Amino acid sequence: MGLTLLSFIAAALLLFLSFAASRISKGRQSGWLVVAMDLFFAVFALTHGLVDLISGIGESTPGLALSRIASASLGLALCSFIVFSLSFPGWQGIQAKIVAAIIAISGIVLAAWIIGTDHYIALIFGVPEGVIRFAGDGYDLASDLLAGIALAAAAFLLFRGFLAKDRIESQRALIVAIAAIFGLAGLWVLGRAGSGIHGASGGMQVLWSFHLLALPALVMAGAASYAIGIVRIFDWGIFVRRLLSWTILALLYGLPLGAVTAALVFTGRLSFTIPLVGAPLAFLVARQLARGFATRRLKHIMEQEYREGLESGLSHIDLSAGRDAVLAETHRLLGSAFDFTEFAVMIEDGKGAFRSIYASTGRSAVVEKGSKMLEFIETMDVTVLLKSEVMGDPRWAEIRPALKGFLDLFRGEAIVFAREGRRIIGAFVMGSRRSGADYTDYDYESFRSIYGKLFVIAYYLKNVARESLVRTVSRELALSDQVIRFALDKIDRIDAPGIDTAWATLSTHTLGGDFVDFVRISKTRWFFVLGDISGKGLSAAMNMLILKSMIRTFLRVEKEFPALVQRVNAFIKENMPKGTFFAGIFGYFDVERKAFYFINCGIPTLLLYSPGFDAFIDVQGEGRILGFVRDVSPFLKPRKISLPPGSVLVSCTDGVTESENLRADRFGKERLIRSVRERLASDARTITDGVVEDLLDFTAGRQEDDISLLVMKFRQSRSVT
């Protein structure tokens, strides 16, 4: 029964692979051949599983019919693979079509011969131990001939893969060919396994071996589906290093763990609790030891080492040195890490045009506003694009000539786009490598990991590094402060009747990571975020700038409130410097319904003054700070509170409540409430300024942490138009 279940699981997986291949194929012949192969393999696995279920004791006519259908489906799947091998990656023309037609007709004839005669499968007979299949007199010859032709096609594909000039196509062919050779070998061995009695009419076989045929079929189908979707070079070096690392871990820790587990299971005959408690404990101990060993000894094997150094170097670029120095240092750092010489930077000029401001080739280019290429790229949710993707991914077919020409102008092989929302504000074009190697999937992930640093540089180049402005500033903080002010001013202020809003952000070092942002969603709704990103000074301010921009970007494409927060958490975890976290609150106001919906992400204070009770209510609830765990969705708890006329909403970061005076007393929530209550009759700006004044008086003017404070008053209002 276990092997029967394996057949059904394999059938489901093969159906999924066929669906995935159909989405990837985008009308390509090779893609549809993979879909056909996966579907035939799925029918094969499913019908073989059904043979066991419907065959009783004795001769089974339904089992015989299903077994023949299964064998015919396997033959058609191999014929599909043969055509795929000859046509992939790019064999075209009338000769290819003729050969494909001949193979297709041969496959149909083979399927009809298997289903309609006794020469391939003569009899299915059920016994208490399982199902026995009696092979016909043509079984061996047909199986060997089909397997041999398919193996020859795989070898031909392997040969073409080594000769292909296009490395993406070469990689695709090699992956499919290698997987197919092993898969076909498995199909042939398992197809001939279990041979028992041979006579003039053939022989009989126990059907258990045929259930395992689903495994090599899965290998072939999975490799083909993966290969047709590849758009970036697979880094074999990284793969080999990681395989070596896992092998070392398996030998040092996996084998001893297996031996311990086996011993515990053996002692389970005496006491059931020994393996029940001991096996999980042994696993946890082995896992902890393996993690420690991998971190200390295998890190240099499993990963290339340039990524962390590059992130650090980009973070410490001196923005006060001026545009030319910043561009030159960026070129040096990226070129050293990725081993290229040619480099170009393009920046949006404020009028919608896209202009090159730096190019090692000496060439210049302008992409005018309204360009089809630029508009198309802006519609794609992409920040990193490799030339191999442009050439191999059907999504780029519409603008492929223009985009290829753009890359060729700067001898580029990779682009990192700096995006503000959907709009592109800058692009960094990296040239081909000195070694002649392609950019790999690992390089792609490295580009993604430094995106935040490059975005800051692009933002600086677009908004700050103009000659007229550079002449007016000479120090790093003064220059960086201009960047931050550009970001902080981009707030959609609430202008709905009856809502009075004010806020304050104060940093300890002129610059900091606290911020408040409002985004208008509709005439009656505003999105809101307030919080504190970890760090101090320039580093925190730049991280705040990146996060603020990305939140606005995610808000445009993400409709679900918790999904938006989860996406922000993933961005912090995957793209910002290690150890970065964000404590704050996300929410939106519905003016028409007089309601506030929010998710607390570690904000320490959210108070609501209720005029009905004449009291301040602590409403923040529980929250999980973003950036610590990869998946924060289980901890996100959306809440709703009503905002009746006369209510006041107060929120602040820990820089307010945890500020201390000279006697180490904290300002705390009670003093915050008292400060707000004294000014309830005033407007929101007066309340905000008054709280800040009381706070600074309490601390004697000392400020040890960044501060953000938001006050919102809700008065009786007319209907919103």
Do 212 and 317 lie in one domain? The reply is no
Matching residue, tokens 């073989």: 48
CATH number reported for the structural domain that contains residue 559 in this entry: 3.60.40.10
Distance CA 6, CA 466 (A): 66
Distance CA 302, CA 305 (A): 9
E runs forming strands in 377-438: 384-386, 412-420, 423-431
Q: Is residue 300 part of a domain?
A: no
Q: Which structure tokens are listed for 288? A: 């902890």
Neighbours of 467 (CB within 10 A): 8
Q: Is residue 41 part of a domain?
A: yes
Strand 707-714, strand 648-652: pairing: antiparallel
Number of domains composing the chain: 4
Do 244 and 386 lie in one domain? The reply is no
Task: Specify the 3-state DSSP secondary structure of 42.
Answer: helix
Q: Is residue 91 part of a domain?
A: yes
Q: What contacts 139, CB < 8 A, 6 or more positions away? A: 119, 120, 121, 202, 203
Do 376 and 444 lie in one domain? The reply is yes
- Tell me which amino acid residue 170 is: S
- Tell me which amino acid residue 475 is: R
Which pLDDT value is given to residue 18? 82
Distance CA 229, CA 561 (A): 32
Q: Please classify residue 689 by burial: count the beta carbons closer than 10 Å to its beta carbon, then call 0-12 exposed, 13-18 middle and 19+ buried.
A: middle
Considering all CA atoms of the chain, what is the largest pairwise distance in Å, rounded to the nearest integer?
Answer: 105
Do 196 and 286 lie in one domain? The reply is no
Do 135 and 179 lie in one domain? The reply is yes
> From residue 504, how far is each of 104, 442, 652 by CA, in Å?
73, 43, 9
Measured between alpha carbons, how far apart are the two ends of the chain, in Å?
A: 68
Low-confidence ranges of the chain (pLDDT < 50): 1-2, 194-207, 302, 467-480, 718-721
Q: What is the C-alpha radius of gyration for the chain, rounded to an integer number of angstroms?
A: 33
Task: Specify the 3-state DSSP secondary structure of 644.
Answer: coil
Do 147 and 16 lie in one domain? The reply is yes
Q: Is residue 476 part of a domain?
A: no
Neighbours of 14 (CB within 10 A): 27
Which pLDDT value is given to residue 381? 78
CA atoms within 13 A on the CB side of 27: 4
Q: Is residue 256 part of a domain?
A: yes
Q: Is residue 477 part of a domain?
A: no
Matching residue, tokens 């006794």: 118
Q: Which structure tokens are listed for 658? A: 């945890």
Q: Is residue 85 part of a domain?
A: yes
The CA dihedral of 117, 118, 121, 123, to the nearest 10 degrees, is 130
Do 171 and 60 lie in one domain? The reply is yes
Do 524 and 595 lie in one domain? The reply is yes
> From residue 220, how far is each of 46, 84, 152, 153, 596 by CA, in Å?
17, 12, 15, 13, 54
Instruction: Choose among 121, 132, 122: nearest CA to 209.
Output: 132
Cα angle 205-207-210, degrees, rounded to a multiple of 5: 110
Bridge partner residues of 595 (DSSP): 590, 642
Residue 375 phi, psi (nearest 5): -65, -40
DSSP state of 522: S
Distance CA 389, CA 410 (A): 17
Which pLDDT value is given to residue 154? 86
Do 693 and 554 lie in one domain? The reply is yes
Distance CA 202, CA 76 (A): 23
Cα angle 352-559-603, degrees, rounded to a multiple of 5: 100
Do 381 and 319 lie in one domain? The reply is yes
Q: What contacts 21, CB < 8 A, 6 or more positions away? A: 31, 34, 35, 38, 224, 225, 228, 229
CATH number reported for the structural domain that contains residue 23 in this entry: 1.20.1070.10
Matching residue, tokens 């929120």: 651
Q: Is residue 704 part of a domain?
A: yes
Neighbours of 552 (CB within 10 A): 18
In terms of residue numbers, what domain contains 583? 482-714
- Tell me which amino acid residue 606 is: L
Q: Give the H/E segment covering residue 58.
A: strand 58-59
CATH number reported for the structural domain that contains residue 365 in this entry: 3.30.450.40
Strand 202-206, strand 195-199: pairing: antiparallel
Q: How far is CA 490 from the centre of its chain?
A: 29
Query: Of the candidates 201, 230, 259, which is a domain's last residue?
Result: 230
E runs forming strands in 211-351: 343-348
Task: Specify the 3-state DSSP secondary structure of 610.
Answer: strand
- Tell me which amino acid residue 566 is: Q
Which pLDDT value is given to residue 570? 85
Q: Give the H/E segment covering residue 526.
A: strand 525-533
CB 444 within 8 A of CB 479: no
Which pLDDT value is given to residue 484? 54
pLDDT by residue (tens digit) across 492-514? Answer: 777 777 788 888 888 776 566 67
Compute the residue count for the chain. 721
Instruction: Choose among 220, 321, 190: nearest CA to 17.
Output: 220
Across the chain, how many H-helices and E-strands are there? 26, 21
CB 212 within 8 A of CB 3: yes
Which pLDDT value is given to residue 714? 86
Which pLDDT value is given to residue 694? 92
Query: Of the candidates 185, 200, 230, which is a domain's last residue?
Result: 230
DSSP state of 124: E
Q: What contacts 349, CB < 8 A, 6 or more positions away? A: 355
Which pLDDT value is given to residue 27? 52
Which stretches within 164-305 are classed as H helix? 167-192, 208-211, 214-228, 236-249, 255-267, 273-293, 299-302
pLDDT by residue (tens digit) across 589-639? Answer: 888 888 888 888 888 888 999 888 889 998 876 778 888 787 888 888 888
Do 221 and 248 lie in one domain? The reply is no
Is the omega angle on the peptide bond into residue 604 within 30 degrees of 0, that is, cis?
A: no
Do 223 and 124 lie in one domain? The reply is yes
